[in-house]
Structure 1
C-alpha cells in the first residue's frame, strides 16, 4: 500500500514540475521575441546598407542594440506572452501588429529627435516591421498547428482503440462552427467532423480549418452516401446556429430521421457560460420544445417582485407539474415564507427537498392537506395568514374525471371554493386560480368544473375590494403528469405504436417553465390593473399544433422514421374529448393587456350569492354520492356545458365536427 503522505508528496512534486515547465516555456517565449527583434533589425540593416558596413560601422550595432532593448521593454505592455502559444489566434496576431507598429514608430521618432536619423535608412523601419511580424507570429501559429495535428492523431488513435469514434456533420458555416472545430481539436474529442452542410451557395466548397462545405440539406442523402464510401459513416448532425427558427429545425430533423442521423445543437455559449477554451463544448439533444417555435416572453420582474418579495405565499397542488415549477419560480423572488400544500405525501416531500436544496434561505412549510377539506383549509390559512395564494390543485385528466364526476366536482369546483373562501377570510391581498382552455365551451366534466370555478372567482373579485381574485387560463403544457408527451416517450421505449386519438386533433402547447412564468406575469399585472377586475387572464398560446405531427416529431428526435420504424395508430376520441380546444368562449371578448403573452377574456359574471347557493346544492349531491344530480346542477351553473357524444364509427363528436374548422395549426 502506498503511504498517503508519499502520494501527496508525489502530487505536489508533479504540480511543481508542471508549473516550472510552464514558467520556463514562457521565459523561452520572451527570449524568442527579443531575439526576433534583434534579428529583424539586423536583416533590415543588412538589406539597406549591405553586409560590409555591418563589420566596420559600430553605430549600426548600437542602433540594433537600442532597437532590441526598446522592443524588450515594450513587449510586456502588449501581453505578447501572457497566453499559451498552443492557443494562438488572430487576436494574438493583432497584438503583435500593434506592438511592432508602436516599437518601430517610437524608435524612428526617438532616433530622429536624438540623432536626426543618422545611420538609419528609412527603409529599415518598413523592412523590420514586416520581418518582425512574420518572426513573432509565424512560430506561434506553426506551434499551434503542430499541437492540433498531434492532438488529432492521439484522439483518433484513442477513439479507434476504444471503439467510440463518432463521425458527424456540422450544419452551418459560421463562427460557432469555427469555435466548435477548434474546441474539439483542443480537447481531444473522439469525434471526426466529416464536413459542413450549409444552405448558402456562396459557401459551397469553402473550408473551415480544413473541413469542407459538402452541400445543402437537400443534398444530405448524397453527402452521407459519399461519406460511407470514404469509411466515415455519419451518425450525427450538429446544428451550429443558436437562434435557428423552429420551422427550419423541424425540417432538419425530418430530413435526418429517414437517414438514421441524430440531430443535436450547440448550446448558447453566452447563456451557458462556456468561456474556458479548455472546457469541451458538448452538443445538446434537440428537445421537443425547440420545435414549437414559441417566443420567450420576458417576465416583468418589478411587478412580480412587488407581489411576492417578503410575503407569505401559499401554493396548493405544490407537488404537481405546474405547482412545483411555480414554487421554484416563486422562491427566486425571496418570499418571507413559502407554504406548500398537497395531498400526496411523496409529491410534497419531493418538491420540499428540491426547493430546500436550491433555495436554502427561503423558509418552507410543507402541509399535507386536501383542498376538499374546507375546515382544514380554513384552519391552516387562519394559522399562517397568507398574503398571496396560488391555487394549482386540481384533477386534470379528462377521461379520469369523466369516469369520476363526483370527485372531479368535489376537487375542482368545491375545492376551489374552499381555498378562495379561506383566502378571503384570512385577509390575503391576492388569490390566483390556474384554469384551463378546457373551461371554454366545455364538453367534459373537468372543463365544466373549471369554468364554474372561474365564475366563482370572477364573482368574488367584483363583490369586494379587500382581496384580488385573478384567474389565469391556458392550454396544455409539455411534459406534465398524464400529458401526451410522456405517453409518447413511454410507447416509443416499448417499440411503439404511438397512439393518437384522431388524425385532425389539435392542441395548444407550451412548456411548464413558460406557463409558470406567464402565470406570475399575469398575477403581477392583475394585482395592479383594476380594469381587469372580474375578468380572466388568458395566456397567448400561439397557434394550435396537430397531435399527430407532435408524435412524428417525437419519433424523428429518436432518430427513427414515423410510419416505418414506429407506427402511429389512431384510436378515436376519448370520453369528453374535443377535436380542438379554444381559449375564448362564445360571448367572451378578447382584449389586449399591452403585455406580451397576456390577453384578457371579457366574460359574463354571475352573482356570488346565487353561485354560493348553487355550490351548496351541488355540495349536498356530492356528499350523498349522487353523481347525476351533481351533474344536473353543474349544467345549470355552466349552461354552455355540452357533454360530447362520441360516434362509435368515427371516434368523433358529430356536434363538434359540425362547428367551424379552427385555424390551421402551425
Structure 2
C-alpha cells in the first residue's frame, strides 16, 4: 500500500515538475485535433455505415482534410490561449464559433473539390454537435475537478472550526469569483449560503450555494446553520458599493450572534486578485461605517504649489504631519524638510520616505517650534517656499493641566514659525487648526483660535507671503485619539469608557484630512480674494461617541453592553458636549471646491495682537499661569474657560479690523493696513 502511495506521489510530482505550462498547452492542441478527427469519423460512420467507410477512399480524404482544416483554423479562435482550469462560458462561445466556422467552411471547400459527393449534410450536423461536446466537455470537467465541483462548496476540512463557516452577503460577480476561488484554492472555509436583498434572487443558487434570505433573516439563517453543525463565524460582504447604513445594520445584526463581518476587495479590478492565490477578506473598519465620500484632489493646483519647490512640514512625525509628508512626497518637491521635536517620530517618517522615494531630497531636523532662534536659523538656511505647520499640543485634558506648555507650543510656536516663514520669504504658510478653536471652552482651543487670528492678521498685513489656515475636526486613528483608546480597552476585555452618552464629534480619516489640507492650500494660493479667510473642511454630520464605541465592539463580533460594557465617566475639564466648525460671528461661504468651505471672521489688529503675544510670552517665561490665561482670554474674547461646563466671566476683547456691520453679520476683512492700538 505504501509502495502504491509513493508511486502516486512520484507520478504527481513528475507531472507537476516536468510538464511546463507550454507542454500542457501543446497537449491541449493535440486533444483538440484528435477530437476533430474522432468527431468527423464518427459522423461519417453514422451517416454512411461501416461498409462504405472501409471501402471508399474518398471518405478518408475528406476525414483527413477536415482534421487538417480544423488544426489550421482552431488557433485563430484562441482555443488554447487560456488555462483549462479557468474555463468559462467565454471559452464555450469560442468553441462554438470555431466549430461552426470549420464545418461551414469545409462544406464550401468540399463542394468545389468533390461537388458535394461523399459528404452527407447530416454528417456535418452530427460532427458539429460531437465537436462541441468533445472540445467543451473535457475543459469543464477539468475545471470542476480542480475546483472540487462535484462536492458541496467548501466542504469542512478535518481541522475546520466555527470561523471556517461563512455566509456571503451579495449575489453578484464578486460572490461568484470568491466561491470559485475558494474551491480552486481548496479552502477549508465552508460557504454555508448567500444573503441577498433582491426578492428575485431568493432560493437561487450560485455554484451550488443557495440564497437563504436577506439582512432580516440573518438570525434565522445562523440558528439553522448551528442545527446543521455548521456554526457561522463570519459574514463576507461581496457587495462592492454597499452603503454605510446597510453595512452598519449588518454589523449590528451580526454582533448579537457573535459573528464577525468582513468584506471583499474590489476583485473585479484588474490586478487586484492573483488567480493562483486565495482571495483574502478584509475586516470592516470604522471608516467603512462612516462612509465619507472621497474628495478628488485638484492635482493641478497642488502640483503647482509643491512640484520642484522647497517644502517644510512641522510636526512631521505626528499623525497629520506624517500623512502630509507622504502625500507631499508624491508631488516631487525639490526639498522636503521634516521638522519635529520627537527623535523617534522623525526617524520613523524619514525611513518611510527614504524607502518609498529614494530619489527625493529629504532632510530631517529635530527642532522645537518654541525655540524662536532655532526656527529662524533653520528657515534662513533652508529657505522653504511652502510651510505646512502641523506641530501642536492637541489633547484637551493635558493642555488644561499644563496651560503654559500648551500656550507656548500652540500659540507662541505658531508665531515663531509664521514669523520665520515671513523672514525667509516663503510663498505660503499653511496652519493646521481644529474645530475646538470655535467658541473655545479650554486652553487648547483658545490657543488654536489665537493662532488662527495671528495668521489671519499676517495674511492681511502684507502681500509677500500667503498665510492660510485650515480648520477641521477629529481624525480617526490619530495618536491619542478615542479610537486607539477604545481598541486598547477592547483588547483588555473592556469596559470602554465614554465621557457622556450625548457627546458628539466630527470625524474624518487621516488621509482624507491631509488631502483636503493640500486641496485648501492649492486653492488658496491662487485665490487673491481669500486673504484673511479660514478654510474649513466639510466634516459631514457629527457622530455620537457612544455609538462609535458600540460599532467598534460589534466589529469585533461582540455585543455592546453585554459582552463588553460601556461606562460613562463624565465630561473632563474643558470638554464640550459637541464641537462646531463655525462660530456665530463667522459667515460661511462655499469655495466651489468639493469638501472645502470658507469662514469669514473678525481679524485682529496685527500690532495690538503682537503686543499681547509679547505680554503672553513674558508670562509663559515666568511660568505665571493666571497671567498667561488671562492674556489669552483678551486675545480670544469668546474663550469661556469652563470647569465641567461652568463658563467664566467674559473678558474685554481686543480691537479688531473689519468689525461686524450688524449683530450676527460680519463685514469682509479690510485690506487696509492695520492701525496701531
TM-score normalized by structure 2? 0.90
Structure 2 residue aligned with 1:499: 497
Q: CA RMSD in A?
A: 2.3
| Post-superposition offset of 1:178 | 0.6
Indicate conservation of the 8 Å contact 2:312/2:386, yes or no: yes
Structure 2 residue aligned with 1:383: 381
Structure 2 residue aligned with 1:364: 362
What secondary structure does 1:481 align onto? coil
Larger deviation: 18-27 or 278-287?
18-27
Q: How does 1:207-606 map to 2 (within 5 A)?
A: 207-269=205-267, 273-606=271-604
Indicate conservation of the 8 Å contact 2:553/2:559, yes or no: yes
Q: Deviations over 1:402-442 (max 9, x none)?
A: 11111111111111010000001001111000000111111
| Post-superposition offset of 1:111 | 3.0
- Using a 3 Å threshold, how does the CA distance of structure 1 residues 441 and 271 change in structure 2: closer, same or farther? farther
Structure 2 residue aligned with 1:620: 618
Instruction: Tell me whether 1:130 sits opposite 2:129 in the alignment.
Output: yes
Indicate conservation of the 8 Å contact 1:377/1:422, yes or no: yes
What secondary structure does 1:173 align onto? coil
- Using a 3 Å threshold, how does the CA distance of structure 1 residues 195 and 278 change in structure 2: closer, same or farther? same
Structure 2 residue aligned with 1:79: 78
Q: For residues 519 and 636 of structure 1, what CA distance do their matches in structure 2 show? A: 29
Indicate conservation of the 8 Å contact 2:160/2:189, yes or no: no
Q: For residues 46 and 529 of structure 2, what CA distance do their matches in structure 1 show? A: 85
Q: For residues 521 and 258 of structure 1, what CA distance do their matches in structure 2 show? A: 42
- Using a 3 Å threshold, how does the CA distance of structure 1 residues 654 and 633 change in structure 2: closer, same or farther? closer
- Using a 3 Å threshold, how does the CA distance of structure 1 residues 257 and 514 change in structure 2: closer, same or farther? same
- Using a 3 Å threshold, how does the CA distance of structure 1 residues 605 and 408 change in structure 2: closer, same or farther? same
Structure 1 residue aligned with 2:105: 106
Q: For residues 21 and 460 of structure 1, what CA distance do their matches in structure 2 show? A: 71
Structure 1 residue aligned with 2:633: 635
Q: For residues 261 and 375 of structure 2, what CA distance do their matches in structure 1 show? A: 49
What secondary structure does 1:325 align onto? helix
Indicate conservation of the 8 Å contact 1:372/1:410, yes or no: yes
Indicate conservation of the 8 Å contact 2:153/2:208, yes or no: no
What secondary structure does 2:612 align onto? helix
Q: For residues 611 and 654 of structure 1, what CA distance do their matches in structure 2 show? A: 22
- Using a 3 Å threshold, how does the CA distance of structure 1 residues 19 and 536 change in structure 2: closer, same or farther? farther
Indicate conservation of the 8 Å contact 1:167/1:192, yes or no: yes
Q: For residues 542 and 354 of structure 1, what CA distance do their matches in structure 2 show? A: 32
Structure 2 residue aligned with 1:65: 64
Q: For residues 399 and 362 of structure 1, what CA distance do their matches in structure 2 show? A: 39
Q: Deviations over 1:617-651 (max 9, x none)?
A: 1111111111111212211111111122426xxxx
Q: How does 1:194-205 map to 2 (within 5 A)?
A: 194-205=192-203
Q: For residues 588 and 270 of structure 2, what CA distance do their matches in structure 1 show? A: 39
Q: Deviations over 1:473-500 (max 9, x none)?
A: 0000011111110111111111111111
Larger deviation: 621-630 or 394-403?
621-630
Indicate conservation of the 8 Å contact 2:389/2:432, yes or no: yes
Q: For residues 322 and 97 of structure 1, what CA distance do their matches in structure 2 show? A: 58
Structure 2 residue aligned with 1:659: none
Indicate conservation of the 8 Å contact 1:448/1:641, yes or no: yes
What secondary structure does 2:92 align onto? helix
Q: For residues 15 and 39 of structure 1, what CA distance do their matches in structure 2 show? A: 29
| Post-superposition offset of 1:50 | 4.8
Indicate conservation of the 8 Å contact 2:162/2:233, yes or no: no
Structure 1 residue aligned with 2:660: none
Indicate conservation of the 8 Å contact 2:641/2:647, yes or no: no
Q: For residues 99 and 88 of structure 1, what CA distance do their matches in structure 2 show? A: 16
| Post-superposition offset of 1:559 | 0.9
Larger deviation: 198-207 or 120-129?
120-129
What secondary structure does 1:80 align onto? coil
- Using a 3 Å threshold, how does the CA distance of structure 1 residues 15 and 584 change in structure 2: closer, same or farther? farther
Q: For residues 199 and 407 of structure 1, what CA distance do their matches in structure 2 show? A: 56
| Post-superposition offset of 1:516 | 0.6
| Post-superposition offset of 1:45 | 3.3
Unaligned runs of 5+ in 1: 1-12, 656-666
Q: Deviations over 1:112-132 (max 9, x none)?
A: 444443333444433322221
Q: Deviations over 1:239-276 (max 9, x none)?
A: 11122111100110000010010111001235683343
| Post-superposition offset of 1:164 | 8.9
Indicate conservation of the 8 Å contact 2:144/2:150, yes or no: no
What secondary structure does 2:33 align onto? helix
| Post-superposition offset of 1:166 | 0.8
Indicate conservation of the 8 Å contact 2:167/2:191, yes or no: yes
| Post-superposition offset of 1:41 | 2.3
Pairs aligned (count)? 639
Indicate conservation of the 8 Å contact 1:152/1:188, yes or no: no
Larger deviation: 620-629 or 475-484?
620-629
Structure 1 residue aligned with 2:93: 94
Indicate conservation of the 8 Å contact 1:152/1:185, yes or no: no
Q: For residues 14 and 312 of structure 1, what CA distance do their matches in structure 2 show? A: 59
| Post-superposition offset of 1:65 | 1.6
Structure 2 residue aligned with 1:662: none
Structure 2 residue aligned with 1:26: 25
Larger deviation: 527-536 or 35-44?
35-44
Q: Deviations over 1:334-390 (max 9, x none)?
A: 111111111111111111112212221112211111111111100110011101100
Structure 1 residue aligned with 2:673: none
Structure 1 residue aligned with 2:184: 186
Q: For residues 87 and 419 of structure 1, what CA distance do their matches in structure 2 show? A: 61
Indicate conservation of the 8 Å contact 1:476/1:508, yes or no: yes
What secondary structure does 2:101 align onto? helix
| Post-superposition offset of 1:77 | 2.1
